């Protein structure tokens, strides 16, 4: 019997895949869950038990939090990546690294096939297939839900027919959780005007009294919270535990999907939102004007390529090299106040703070030039404008 590896999360789509592969294609199914921060140890046990209930030959859980941080999250922080100035790629970026792990596992057990539960209308099918085709061109990809154009109810009916009776219909919203945030899709996100209701978000407002926190950055990486230093992954998890109680980082992202249609999805990303904004503030103090200008475009391009599953595009490594080099002086503390549904950036402390120069204080006093120097500078600076308007005065 030929082997097939299924990217399995315990949800409706991947559960359907398992049963379909067994019953219709007579394949030996091996499932793998690649954890990027969306599952607790107890939840992982539940998913594993469910996989074996489905009849898989074997199931494995792969924790890649450190890999995911080192290969993607740190660069998204360096680049202050917010797709369409909104979305921190909470789930989008995960798929690439989940796909890589699935491929490695398939090779390890000599599987002939890889399967996933993506539909034909979303981004994930592109991300998974592109990685599978790049890293394992000889392993065939099976996508029953996409190929059969199945509706949610058709999937449920098929599972019930084969003795699987989980309460799928109770899940009104599609929720994907990871260390960098959680996406929330439902009826409202299929419209252009409706907001997600409060109860749709996994994290509810628990705290209302403001809390002051201090974030520590070293060469662009988040390394501590409130004078407690730890790995970047652990610091992100600690911040998420605190900030999510304020229901911070909620929004709805509207963007262009890889397949060309417009898409709308809700998300909550407390730690990611606070870290990106805090990091950006620190950069404003310690980087030059042109470093910031160049980074803005590169960060946007990096986020777009990552969102579109183009992780193996060589330009990604080039951008990562620049972003890394730009972070040499991005070290210091950022002071933040957490409040219900939002936060305030109060200021920074850094030995690289360019506001500490002895050349002058903005809007107050100048110490490095005279009034005549200033007048001459302004006169020369305006020369190009004067020339243009003198030549084109009739326009």
Coil vs helix vs strand at 218 = strand
Domain boundaries, the chain: 3-170, 174-287+329-349, 362-392
Pick the range with the lowest mean pLDDT from 71-85, 169-183, 217-231, 256-270. Answer: 169-183
CATH code for the part of the protein at 174-287+329-349: 3.90.1260.10
- By C-alpha distance, which of 285, 287, 292 is closest to 349? 285
Per-residue pLDDT, 366: 75
CA 338 – CA 274 distance, rounded (Å): 9
Pairing between β-strand 3-7 and β-strand 140-142 as defined by DSSP bridges:
unpaired
Cα–Cα nearest to 106, from 58, 50, 55: 58
Q: What's the confidence (pLDDT) of residue 124?
A: 92
pLDDT confidence band for 330 (50 / 70 / 90): very high
Helical pair 92-108 and 289-307, crossing angle rounded to 10 deg: 50
Instruction: Determine the pLDDT at residue 165.
Output: 82
Q: Kindly report the backbone phi and psi dihedral angles of residue 361, in degrees, each rounded to the nearest multiple of 5, phi listed first.
A: -120, 125
Q: How far apart (Å, rounded) are the C-alpha atoms in residues 28 and 5?
A: 9
Q: Cα(81)–Cα(297) distance, rounded to whole angstroms? A: 10
pLDDT digits over 159-200, tens only? 999 999 888 766 678 889 999 999 999 889 999 999 999 999
CA distance 344 to 273: 12
User: Which SS3 state, helix, strand or coil, does residue 267 take?
Assistant: strand
Instruction: Dump pLDDT digits (tens) for 108-141.
Output: 999 999 999 998 888 999 999 999 999 999 999 9
Type and span of the H or E element at 264? strand 262-268
Q: At what angle do helices 12-23 and 152-161 cross, to 10 degrees?
A: 50
Tokens standing for residue 29: 């199914």
Residue 343: phi and psi, rounded to 5, are: -150, 160
What is the model's pTM? 0.94
pLDDT at position 363 is 64
Q: Which of 333-337, 358-362, 374-378 has the lowest mean pLDDT?
A: 358-362
Res. 294 pLDDT band, cuts 50 70 90:
very high
Write out the H or E segment, with its range, that includes residue 304.
helix 289-307
Q: In what order do the strands lie in the sheet with 181-185?
A: 174-178, 181-185, 262-268, 250-256
Residue 333: pLDDT over 70: yes
Say how many C-beta atoms besides its own lie within 10 A of residue 298's C-beta: 18
Query: pLDDT for 30-47, tens place per residue?
Result: 999 999 998 999 999 999
Edge-to-edge order in the sheet of strand 342-349: 228-229, 221-225, 211-218, 332-339, 342-349
Name the average pLDDT for the chain: 94
Q: What is the DSSP letter of 194?
A: P
Ramachandran angles phi, psi of 313, nearest 5°: -65, 125
Q: Crossing angle for the helix pair 270-286 and 289-307, nearest 10 degrees?
A: 150
Q: What is the pLDDT of residue 280?
A: 98
- Residues 199, 197: Cα–Cα separation, whole Å: 5
Reported CATH class of domain 3-170: alpha beta
Distance CA 226, CA 300 (A): 30
């Amino acid at each position: 019997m030929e082997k097939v590896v299924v990217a399995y999360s315990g949800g409706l789509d991947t559960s359907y895949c398992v049963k379909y592969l067994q019953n219709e294609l007579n394949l030996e199914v091996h499932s793998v869950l690649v954890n990027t921060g969306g599952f607790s140890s107890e939840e992982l046990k539940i998913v594993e038990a469910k996989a074996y209930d489905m009849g898989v030959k074997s199931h494995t859980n792969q924790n890649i939090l450190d890999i995911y941080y080192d290969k993607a999250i740190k660069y998204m922080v360096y680049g202050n990546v917010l797709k369409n100035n909104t979305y921190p790629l909470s789930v989008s970026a995960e798929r690439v690294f989940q796909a890589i792990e699935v491929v490695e596992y398939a090779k390890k057990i000599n599987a002939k096939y890889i399967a996933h539960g993506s539909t034909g209308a979303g981004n994930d099918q592109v991300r998974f297939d592109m990685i599978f085709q790049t890293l394992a061109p000889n392993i065939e990809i099976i996508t029953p839900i996409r190929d059969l154009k199945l509706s949610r109810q058709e999937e449920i009916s098929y599972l019930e027919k084969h003795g699987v009776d989980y309460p799928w219909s109770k899940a009104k919203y599609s929720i994907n959780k990871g260390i960098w945030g959680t996406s929330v899709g439902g009826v409202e996100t299929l419209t252009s005007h409706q907001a997600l209701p409060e109860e749709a978000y996994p994290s509810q407002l628990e705290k209302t009294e403001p809390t002051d926190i201090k974030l520590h950055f070293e060469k662009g990486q988040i390394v501590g919270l409130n004078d407690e230093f730890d790995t970047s992954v652990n610091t992100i998890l600690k911040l998420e535990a605190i900030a999510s109680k304020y229901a911070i980082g909620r929004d709805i992202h509207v963007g262009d999907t890889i397949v060309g249609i417009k898409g709308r999805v809700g998300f909550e990303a407390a730690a990611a939102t606070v870290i990106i904004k805090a990091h950006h503030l620190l950069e404003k103090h310690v980087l030059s004007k042109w470093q910031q200008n160049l980074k803005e475009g590169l960060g946007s391009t990096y986020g777009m390529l990552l969102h579109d599953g183009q992780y193996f595009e060589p330009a990604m490594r080039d951008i990562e090299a620049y972003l890394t080099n730009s972070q040499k002086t991005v070290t210091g503390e950022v002071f933040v106040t957490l409040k219900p549904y939002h936060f305030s950036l109060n200021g920074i402390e850094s030995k690289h703070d360019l506001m500490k120069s002895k050349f002058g204080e903005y809007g107050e006093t100048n110490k490095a030039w005279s009034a005549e120097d200033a007048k001459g500078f302004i006169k020369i600076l305006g020369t190009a404008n004067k020339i243009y308007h003198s030549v084109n005065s009739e326009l």
